[in-house]
Amino acid sequence: MSTRGSTRGVVYVHSSPSAVCPHVEWAISGTLGTRADLKWTAQPAAPGQLRAECSWSAPTGTSGKLASALKAWPMLRFEVTEDPSPGVDGERYCYAPGLGLWHGRTSANGDIVVGEDQLRSLVAKARAGEAFAHRVDELLATNWDEALEPFRHAGDGAPVTWLHRVG
């Protein structure tokens, strides 16, 4: 019997070629153990691409499994979030072509949490101001936010699918 708690999150597929959409649904379905039948809509920020999002409910740690499954298609743009749960920080994963996968912990209000060890490492390695600023930007996913922001706005008001992990 698992002692892990349950949480919720969202998968945002910001852009996908139509031929890859069934594979995305298969990856989400396999991770959650329930059929993902997403509602795909046009992505105005990338003509010819589609977007979809789904909310999910599953054990804590599921966001990492979803991100791992989706990064198999390097042409996707996506984000996976996981809400904080008792004793567990929230998480956010971002993927953009050319940047790869970024992962960070999040607070209850969605802010990125930078841990003590990350700060100590930053101070030890980045002595110069510009290097320090660059590393802070990496910790805060600045490049990923800049790359994904046009795709986020294009999805405002789009339909959301709800999925719950089986068993």
User: How many of the other CB atoms lie within 10 Å of CB of 93?
Assistant: 24
Residue 2's pLDDT is 45
pLDDT band at residue 118 under the 50/70/90 scheme = confident
Note the pLDDT of residue 148.
94
Positive or negative, the Cα torsion across 127, 132, 135, 140? positive
How many CA atoms does the CB half-sphere of 75 hold within 13 Å? 13
What pLDDT score does 162 carry? 60
- pLDDT-based confidence at residue 98 (cuts at 50, 70, 90): very high
The string over 112-141, giving b where at least 16 C-beta atoms fall within 10 Å of a residue's C-beta and e elsewhere, is eeeeeeeeeebeeeeeeeeeeeebeeebeb
Is the overall model pTM greater than 0.85, yes or no? yes
What pLDDT score was predicted for residue 63?
97
Joined tokens for residue 12: 């945002």
Q: What local confidence, expressed as pLDDT, does residue 1 receive?
A: 39
